[in-house]
Structure 1
Amino acid sequence: MEGEKGMPQYRLRFEEITEAHRADVGSKGYTLARLYQAGFPVPPGLIIPASAYRDFLTACGLERLLTRPQTTTYALWQAILTAKVPPALVQALRQAWEELPHPIAVRSSALGEDSDRASFAGQHDTFLDVGDFQALLTAVRGCWASLWNKEAVHYRLHRDEEVTPPAMAIILQPMVRAVRAGVAFTADPITGQQDHLIVEAVEGSGEALVQGQVTPYRYTVPLGPEGPHPDPDLPDEIRAVADLAWRVARWTDSPQDIEWALDEEGRLHLLQARPITVLGGEGAEPTLWTRDNVGEVVPDPVTPLSWSVLDPLTNRAFAHLLRRLGIGDYPQAGLFGRFYGRVYFNQTLFQAMLRRFYVSETPWQAVPRLALTGLRALWLLYRLPSEARREIQTIRTCRTQGCAIAIWRRLIEQTMATHLGVTVMAELLHMALEKVLARWTDGETPAAALTAGLKGVHSAEAGHALATLARRARNDPHLRRIILKTPVDQLPRRLATTAHTQPFWEQFRRFLEEHGHSAAQEFELAAPRWRDDPTPVLAALQAQVAEDEPPTIIAPPSPVEAAIARVEAQLGLGKRWFFRRLLATARRFAQLRENLKYHFVMAYSYLRDHYLTQARQLIAMGRLIEVQGIFFLTEAEVEALRTGNLPPAEAGARIAHRLEEWRKARSFFPPSVLRQRPDGSLEAREEAISWEIAVRQMMQGVAASPGQVVGRARVVHNLDEARTLRPGEVLVAPAITPGWSPLLLTAGGLVTERGGILSHGAILAREYGRPAVLNVPQATRRFRTGQRLRVDGSRGVVEVLP
C-alpha cells in the first residue's frame, strides 16, 4: 500500500478506510473504521496496516525465519520483540503518536481476527495506557510478536486457519477513562437463542471482565422485531448498551459481541464489535485451565524471566514422560498457560492425551496400548528411584565442587523430567493404596496416616534443624533475650558481632549453607533465597524462641507403625504381602518426590545467581538500571541486551511496562479454574459453596495430615504476611511450599486453598505432626484472622467456633 510520491502508507485514519483497505487492516480494524464512519460512538483512531508488519520483517531480515523448517514459533516471537523498527516506520508511528491524545490503547487487528469464522479473542496482545513514544514502539512490536505466541499458533492450527504466513495490522486509539464497562451479546453464545441479548457490566475498565478476572453484573434483555424491550427498572446505561448492541447487529446483519465503556461524562463508547463465532451446537467445547497442583508450586504471578525458563522446561518434561509411557505425538506446548500473570494447567489437553488409553472409550483398540503402557509404567517404577538418587548426588557434588552454568542448566532439565515422572508415579501409587484400604479394610485408617514418618525428607529436615536452634536459644536466657528484643532485620549483625552469640550465629550460617537455597516462591527466579535474605527464617526462629510450650494437639495421630499394624490385622497372608510391597513403594516414591523437588530448587537457585551476576555486569555496561530489572526480561531478551541487539532504552521500556502489569496481577485473587471458550474468551469458575458453610460455618477439604487442633486463625497470602504468625495459631494460606517449612513448626494446624495428600504442605504437616486440611475452596476469603477454628485433619473438615 503506497501513499503520496510512492512512499509506503503506514498510517490510515478511520475516516480514510474503504473496502480497498480491508485486506490490509484486518476485520477488527475495518469494522471499527466503518462503524466510526457510520456514526456509531467509536473513539477516533488510526490503523498501522499489515503491510507495515511485512515491511518490518523484510527490513530486519526476519522473513527468512518463516521459511526455515527448524525455526520455532518461540524464536520468531523473540526475534520480533528484539528487532529494531525501520526508520520509515518509526517516522509514521511518530506522526501517529503526535496526532492522537495521550495515553493511547494499542490493539491487534490480525488478518483473519474477528472474522465470522474465528474471533481470536484473547490470543493476541493488547497494550493499554501507553504514555510515551518509546512505550508505543514496544507495544507495536509486542502486538506483532503475539502472532507467534503459543496460544495464537495453537488457535490457528485448531481452527485450520489458512492465513499463511499470518500478518497483523494495529489499531491506535485514545484511552477511554471508563467508570463502567463491559460486553454485550445480541444472541446467547451458549444456547444460540436470538430472542434476547445479554449485557455484562463491571465498575471501571472492562479489561478485567474480558480477561475473566471478575464476575460481572449480568442483564438479560428481551428482543423483538423492533429492538430490545428492557425492563423499565434496568439502569439507563444498560438500556443504552442494549440499544447500541442491537443497532450494531442490524448494521452488520449478523449476531454481534461488542465491548463498550461509559466515561466520566456519561458518554457511551463502542470499543469493539465482532461476529459471535460459536452459537451452541457442536465444536463449542471449552478448555478448562486449573490452578490445582501448579498453584501450590507457583502460587504468585511469575516474572517474564521465570516464565521463559519454566514454560519450555515443564512442557519438555511432560513430553519426555509421556514418550516414556508410549505417547509420542505429544504437543510441545500448551500444557501450561499464563493468565493474569499466574500459571495454569491445561486440564482439557492433559485428559485428551490420556483418553486414548481408556478402554471404555475405545475398547478393543485401547487394550494393546493399555497393556504396553502398564509394562512401561512398571519399568519406570523400577528405574526412577535409581535415576533420582543419581541426579540428587550429582547436584550435591556440583554444589560442593562448583559447576559451570551450562552443567547446572542440564541438571535442571534432567531433574525436572525425573521429578515429574516420580510425581506421577507417586500419585498413582497413592490412588492404588487408597483403593486397597477402601476395599480390603474397614476404611478407618486413612492413607495419609500410613505415609507419615518418612525418613530423610530434606525439606522437613530444614524445619527440624531450625527447631534445634530454637531450643538452644530458649535454654540460654541471654541469647533468648537478644533474639526476642532485636528487630529481625538487625538480627544478623547483632548475632554476628556479639561475643556471646557468635557460636550460635555460626550454627545458623551452617543451616543456611545446607538449606539456604530455599525460598517462599522457589520456582520464581526473582524471589530471594534464604541465603540472600534470611529474614523470613529468623522471623520464624523468633516465633519459636518465644514459644513456651508446643501447641496442644487434640486426639494426636497414632504412630505410623500402629496404623500399619491395624491395617495388616484385617488382611490375609496374600493381601498382607501385596499391601506391604505397595505401601513400601508408595512411601519410597513420596520421599523421592520431596527430595527431588528440594534438589531441583537447589540447582535452580544457581540459575538465579547466574542472572544476578549478569544483571550486575549489564549495570556496569550501562545497559540496565537496577538488578531486579533483569527478571522482567525473557532469557532471549537478556542475551540480546548483553550482545547489543536490544537497545537499553527499549529494554527499560519493556521492564517498566511488565513491572506495572506484574504489580497489577499481584493485587487480585486469581480464579482457581478458568473456562476458555472456543473463541478464546475466558470465564472465571469458582467452586460452589455448600449450605454447611452458611449454616454451620463448616468447610470440607482434603484430609491431609491426621489429628485435630483448635486455635486462632492467621490468614496470610504470602510469606511476608506470615511473619505475624504466633505459636499455636492455625495457618490459613493459599498454598504452602517447602520454603514455608520453618513456620509449620510454629503453627498449630494448617489450612490451604490448594494441595492434596501428596502435596508439599501435606507431607511437611505429617512430618511435623500438625493437623492439616488442604484444598479448602476460597479459605483465605472465607476465614478471618482471629476466628477460632477447629481443624480436623482426619476428616478433612474446618469449623468456625464461637
Structure 2
Amino acid sequence: MLYDLKNVENWKCPGIGVKAQNLVRLYQLGYTVCDGVIVPFPFFQQFCRDNALAFITPESIRRADFGLAQQQELWTCWERLTKGGRELIVRSSADFEDRPGKSNAGMFASVQHVSDFEQLLEAVREVWSSYYRSSIEKDKEMGQGFGVIVQQMLLCDTSGVTFTRDPNTLNRCVWIEACKGNNEKIIQNRAAAATAKIDWAGGRPHYTSSRLLTRKELTEQLRIAQKLEQDFGYPCDFEWGLQDHRLWIFQVRPISRKAEKELYGEPAIEGLDCILLDRYAKPASTCYLSILDEWQQKIYLSHYTDRRGSEFSEKPLKFLYHRVYWNQRYQQQYFQDDGRKSVYKRLLLWYRVKTSWRKWYRRIPAYDKKILQYQRRMEFETSEDDLLRLLDEICDTFCIMLGIDHYRFLSLAQILYRKVEQKAATLQYDPQCLARDLGAYVHRNQTSQANDELQDIAKFVREDVELHTLFAHEDAADIWKRMGENPSNTMYCKILQFINRHGHRGVGCDDLYEPHWRERPEIVISLLQQLVNTTQIHPGNGGESNSGTVQSPGWRLQSLIRDAGRYMCLREDQRYYFDKSWMLLREILLKISQRFMQRSILTETNDIFFMTIQEIRHHLQFLNYPFHVEILKERIQDYERACTTAPPYMLKNSSTVPVQKSKVSKSYKAMAISGGEAAGPIRLIRGIEDLSRAQKGDIGVVNTFHPSWTPILSVVSGLIMSYGNMLSHGAVIAREYGIPVVVFNADAISMFHENDMVRINGTTGRIHLLNHAERKSI
C-alpha cells in the first residue's frame, strides 16, 4: 500500500496529497529529489480499521498501534532509506495544501531527524493527528485525501526558498532567501535570511548579490526557476538545499497569492477617515473594485505634478463593505488645493482650467475608434495570449485616454463651483438664475442628449394611439418581444437605433457585474413607459428667478460660470464614456469567462466578476495555475450578504459616525444640493424596476442616482438621496430640471415609508414629515 517516490507511474495518483504529487512529478521531470516513500490515505484508513477507530481524535491516533502488516511495510521502507545511518524526515501531504491563496503552510506537523524505527512510527502518527487537530472541518467533510511523505533527510551546507517570480506582483524577478545549514530556521523565523534577486524582465538577467551564494549558484537558481515555471505551467516557489554544490529540491508549490475571501470587507486599517460615494450604495463586485484600485495607482492625483497615484501616500478611494468610499485625507491634501498660497500654483491651475477640457474632448474621436477596433478584435482573438493582450490594451487605453486626469477634472469642477457660489453670493445673484446659467453648459453633455432622445421617442409613442395603449398595459419584456416580431416596425427601428448609440448605459452603479441596456433592451422600454404618461419637461424650466426678473451676471461671474459649467459638463461626459469602457471590459471578461469554464476554473459565467483583475491576468498567462474555487464561493456569499445590509455613511478614525437620528422623527436636517421646495408622497426607488412606479408629484427616495435614471426627473417633484454631494449626477441634473434635492446622509430607503407625505427644502436642507392637517393644505 506504500508508494516508492521514484516508482509512482501516475503523479496524479489519488490519496497521496498535492505535495507528494509535486515531488513525484519533479523526479519524473529529472530534478534532484531525495529518495523516499509515500504513505497514502488508504493506509491511514486501514490503520483506523485495525484499531476500530470509529470516532477519530488526535489522542486516539497517538494511542493506537500499527498492525503487523503495516509495521512490516514501514520496516521494509525504513531499512532501505536509512542505509549508511541516514536520518529521515516525515512530512504531511494533503489535497488542500500547496495551492495558490491557501497553501496551509506550517499547519500540519513535520518531524525531522528521525533516527530509529519506533520514532518513525511515532512521527507518522503525529502527522496524522495534526490533521485531526486542525480546523479544516469543511475539507474533511468533503472527503479530501491526506498522505504522509517519508524521505531521506539531507544535511545542507546552504538552503532556502526561491520564488520564480516577484511574489507580490508576479513580475519577472526571481527572489531568493537563503541561510547556512537547513532552512527550517527560515521557515520557523528563527534566523534572518540572506536575500538575493535576479531581475530577468528585460531578457538579460540583472543580479543582486548574496553573501551566501556565488554568481554560478545564482545562475543555477535562475535556470531552475525558469525551467520549473515552464514544466509546471505557473509561477511557483521551491524549497532547496545545497550539499557539496549540488542543488536538491525538497518541495514546490504555486506562489501563494493573496486570495482571501474578505478582500473588500470591513475596515482593517487604523485611522480611516472616509465617506461613502453616492454611486456605491449597492455593493460592487471584486473584479470591479480591483480595477478601480489598480486604476488609481496609475492616474494623476494632483494638479501641480504629473506623478502617478502609486507615488502618493493618500489615494482618493478606499474599498470597504464591498463599496467605494471617498478618502477625506486625500481631499484635504490634494483635491481642495486651489493654489491660493502659491503664485506658481495659481498660474498652473488657471492654465489647466483653460486647456484641460479641450485636450480631453480632442481624445474622444480617437477613443471611439479604439473601442470599435477592440470590439472587432474580440470577435477573432480567442487564445489566452490574445485575450490577455487585448485586456491589457483596453485597460491601458482607458487609463491614458480617458481616466488619467479624472480626479483633476473632478477637483476643478468642485473648486470652480465653489468660486461661482462665493462670487454669486457677493453679487447677490439669484440662485435659480445661477442654476439656469450653469445648466446651459451642463445640458450639452452626452447623458442629457441621450435622455432628450428618449423623450422624443416617448412623444412619438404618445402621439400613436395603438402604441400608447400597448405601452400603458403591457409588460416591458412583452412589448420588446412583440416589436421584435416585426423588425421593419418604425418604433422598433427607433429604439434599436437608440440602443445602438447609447446601449452601453448601465442600470446600477458602474459595476461590471451589472448588465447594460444592450443586454437588456426591456430596460429602455420600462423607461419609455414611465415617460409616455407624463408631460415632457425640458431641463431649465425651473431656471427663472422667483421674482420673474432676469439678472445679468457680469463678465467676471459669467467667465466663472462658463468655466465651472464646462467642467461639470465634462464630468457628466466622462461618466458617459466610462460606461462605454465598462461595457467593453464586461464583454471581454465574459469571453474570458467562457475560456475559464472550459478549463474548469469557473462553473458559472458571472463567477469571473468575483476574481480580481490580477487573478484573471495570471490565469490567462499561466494555463496550469490552479484557482481556489472555495474562496470564490465565499466571496460570492459575502457579496450577497453585503447586498442585504446598509453600509455606514461616514467613518472617522475607522469608527462609524451616525449622521441621522436612529428613531423616527418628524423633521430631519439633510444636505441641500438643489434649491427649491416640494411636497408630496414618498416613492421608494430601489432600482431600475421601481422607476415606472413613480407618479407625477411624488418625492422620489433613492440610495443613489444613476445617469440612466435621469428621465425620472420629468416625473417626480423632488428627490431625497441617501448619499451624494453638490457635484453628484443627481444634483447636477436636478438643478437643470429645477427640482429640489436633499441628501439624507444615511440609508433613507429604510427610514422612510411608501406614501408618507413629506415636504423637502433643497435650499435649507430640511425634510419634514407632514401630519394629517398639513396634508390637506397641499
TM range (shorter): 0.5 to 0.7
Aligned: 1:289 with 2:277: no
Aligned: 1:409 with 2:409: no
Cross-structure match for 1:18 = none
Aligned: 1:626 with 2:604: yes
Of stretches 618-627 and 422-431 in structure 1, the one that deviates more from structure 2 is 618-627
CA distance change for structure 1 residues 541 and 628 in 2, over 3 Å: closer, same or farther? same
Taking the TM superposition and a 5 Å limit, the aligned residue runs for 1:377-416 are 377-400=349-372, 402=374, 405=390, 406-414=392-400, 415-416=402-403
Q: 1:755 aligns with which of 709, 724, 735?
A: 724
Q: 2:708 aligns with which of 739, 745, 749?
A: 739
Cross-structure match for 2:647 = 670
Cα drift, residue 431 of structure 1? 0.5
Of stretches 460-469 and 490-499 in structure 1, the one that deviates more from structure 2 is 490-499
Once the two structures are superposed, residues 534-585 of structure 1 have per-residue CA deviations (whole angstroms, 9 ceiling, x without a partner) of 233222222222x2546999x96234899994253xxxxxxx2211211111
One-letter amino acid of the counterpart of residue 634, structure 2: H
Contact 1:289 1:344 (8 Å CA) reproduced = yes
Cross-structure match for 2:290 = 308
One-letter amino acid of the counterpart of residue 323, structure 2: R
Q: 2:302 & 2:538 partners in 1: Cα distance?
A: 46
Q: 1:88 & 1:752 partners in 2: Cα distance?
A: 53
Contact 2:435 2:736 (8 Å CA) reproduced = no
Q: 1:687 & 1:590 partners in 2: Cα distance?
A: 28
Cross-structure match for 2:471 = 483
Once the two structures are superposed, residues 227-257 of structure 1 have per-residue CA deviations (whole angstroms, 9 ceiling, x without a partner) of xxxxxxxxxxxxxxxxxxxxxxxxxxxxxxx
Cα drift, residue 319 of structure 1? 3.5
Q: 2:564 & 2:548 partners in 1: Cα distance?
A: 15
Cα drift, residue 80 of structure 1? 5.6
Contact 2:516 2:583 (8 Å CA) reproduced = yes
Q: 2:570 aligns with which of 592, 597, 600?
A: 592
Taking the TM superposition and a 5 Å limit, the aligned residue runs for 1:334-345 are 334-345=315-326
Aligned: 1:798 with 2:776: no
One-letter amino acid of the counterpart of residue 394, structure 2: W
Q: 1:135 & 1:300 partners in 2: Cα distance?
A: 41
Cα drift, residue 498 of structure 1? 4.4
One-letter amino acid of the counterpart of residue 578, structure 1: R
Q: 2:563 & 2:140 partners in 1: Cα distance?
A: 56
SS in structure 2 at match of 1:290: strand
Cα drift, residue 590 of structure 1? 1.2
Taking the TM superposition and a 5 Å limit, the aligned residue runs for 1:130-141 are none
Q: Which has the larger radius of gyration?
A: 2
Once the two structures are superposed, residues 397-422 of structure 1 have per-residue CA deviations (whole angstroms, 9 ceiling, x without a partner) of 33455565454323310211233221
Taking the TM superposition and a 5 Å limit, the aligned residue runs for 1:22-171 are 81=101, 96=130, 98-99=132-133, 103=137
Taking the TM superposition and a 5 Å limit, the aligned residue runs for 1:341-360 are 341-352=322-333
One-letter amino acid of the counterpart of residue 394, structure 1: A
Q: 1:135 & 1:752 partners in 2: Cα distance?
A: 54
Cross-structure match for 2:681 = 712
Cα drift, residue 509 of structure 1? 0.9
Contact 1:594 1:760 (8 Å CA) reproduced = yes
Contact 1:699 1:776 (8 Å CA) reproduced = no
Contact 2:398 2:581 (8 Å CA) reproduced = yes
Aligned: 1:431 with 2:418: yes
Cross-structure match for 1:518 = 505
Cα drift, residue 131 of structure 1? 7.3
Q: 1:528 aligns with which of 515, 520, 528?
A: 515
Aligned: 1:376 with 2:348: yes
In angstroms, what is the RMSD of aligned CA positions? Answer: 4.6
Contact 2:297 2:309 (8 Å CA) reproduced = no
Aligned: 1:697 with 2:683: no
Q: 1:347 & 1:582 partners in 2: Cα distance?
A: 26
Cross-structure match for 1:770 = 739
Cross-structure match for 1:141 = none
Q: 1:503 aligns with which of 490, 499, 524?
A: 490
Cross-structure match for 2:299 = 317
Aligned: 1:652 with 2:629: yes
Once the two structures are superposed, residues 693-730 of structure 1 have per-residue CA deviations (whole angstroms, 9 ceiling, x without a partner) of 83x534432232x4433322112333344453344422
Contact 1:751 1:773 (8 Å CA) reproduced = yes
Contact 2:282 2:509 (8 Å CA) reproduced = no
Q: 1:168 & 1:135 partners in 2: Cα distance?
A: 29
CA distance change for structure 1 residues 165 and 345 in 2, over 3 Å: closer, same or farther? farther
Q: 1:600 & 1:525 partners in 2: Cα distance?
A: 11
Q: 2:140 & 2:492 partners in 1: Cα distance?
A: 50
One-letter amino acid of the counterpart of residue 437, structure 2: L
Q: 1:683 & 1:762 partners in 2: Cα distance?
A: 28
Once the two structures are superposed, residues 641-693 of structure 1 have per-residue CA deviations (whole angstroms, 9 ceiling, x without a partner) of 33455656x343222111001111111100011233xxxxx4211214499x8
Aligned: 1:558 with 2:543: yes
Contact 1:711 1:788 (8 Å CA) reproduced = yes
Cα drift, residue 780 of structure 1? 2.3
One-letter amino acid of the counterpart of residue 521, structure 2: P
Q: 2:555 aligns with which of 558, 574, 577?
A: 577
CA distance change for structure 1 residues 721 and 768 in 2, over 3 Å: closer, same or farther? same
Q: 2:413 & 2:536 partners in 1: Cα distance?
A: 32
Q: 2:619 & 2:724 partners in 1: Cα distance?
A: 39
One-letter amino acid of the counterpart of residue 617, structure 1: R
CA distance change for structure 1 residues 333 and 640 in 2, over 3 Å: closer, same or farther? farther
Contact 1:520 1:527 (8 Å CA) reproduced = yes
Q: 2:527 aligns with which of 537, 540, 559?
A: 540
Cα drift, residue 493 of structure 1? 1.3
Taking the TM superposition and a 5 Å limit, the aligned residue runs for 1:218-229 are none
TM-score with structure 2 setting the length: 0.61
Contact 2:610 2:635 (8 Å CA) reproduced = yes
Cα drift, residue 387 of structure 1? 1.6
CA distance change for structure 1 residues 131 and 341 in 2, over 3 Å: closer, same or farther? farther
Contact 1:448 1:757 (8 Å CA) reproduced = no
One-letter amino acid of the counterpart of residue 399, structure 2: E
Q: 1:557 & 1:511 partners in 2: Cα distance?
A: 28
Of stretches 523-532 and 792-801 in structure 1, the one that deviates more from structure 2 is 792-801
One-letter amino acid of the counterpart of residue 677, structure 2: Q
TM-score with structure 1 setting the length: 0.59
Q: 1:417 & 1:792 partners in 2: Cα distance?
A: 38
Q: 1:89 & 1:595 partners in 2: Cα distance?
A: 59
Q: Unaligned stretches of 5+ in structure 2?
A: 1-18, 20-57, 60-89, 111-123, 147-166, 170-184, 191-261, 378-389, 772-778
SS in structure 2 at match of 1:773: strand
Q: 2:462 aligns with which of 474, 478, 499?
A: 474
Q: 1:788 & 1:481 partners in 2: Cα distance?
A: 31
Q: 1:301 & 1:130 partners in 2: Cα distance?
A: 33
Cα drift, residue 286 of structure 1? 3.4
Contact 1:134 1:653 (8 Å CA) reproduced = no
Contact 2:649 2:745 (8 Å CA) reproduced = no
Contact 1:395 1:599 (8 Å CA) reproduced = no
Of stretches 755-764 and 712-721 in structure 1, the one that deviates more from structure 2 is 712-721
Once the two structures are superposed, residues 148-202 of structure 1 have per-residue CA deviations (whole angstroms, 9 ceiling, x without a partner) of 79xxxxxxxxxxxxxx999999xxxxxxxxxxxxxxxxxxxxxxxxxxxxxxxxx
One-letter amino acid of the counterpart of residue 693, structure 2: T
Q: 2:457 & 2:278 partners in 1: Cα distance?
A: 28
Cα drift, residue 505 of structure 1? 1.1
One-letter amino acid of the counterpart of residue 449, structure 2: E
Cross-structure match for 1:787 = 756
CA distance change for structure 1 residues 354 and 590 in 2, over 3 Å: closer, same or farther? closer
Once the two structures are superposed, residues 89-134 of structure 1 have per-residue CA deviations (whole angstroms, 9 ceiling, x without a partner) of 8999986554457757xxxxxxxxxxxxxxxxxxxxxxxx997588
Contact 1:212 1:683 (8 Å CA) reproduced = no
Once the two structures are superposed, residues 446-472 of structure 1 have per-residue CA deviations (whole angstroms, 9 ceiling, x without a partner) of 754432233421111222222221221
Contact 2:695 2:716 (8 Å CA) reproduced = yes
Count the aligned residue pairs: 545
SS in structure 2 at match of 1:610: helix
Of stretches 512-521 and 791-800 in structure 1, the one that deviates more from structure 2 is 791-800
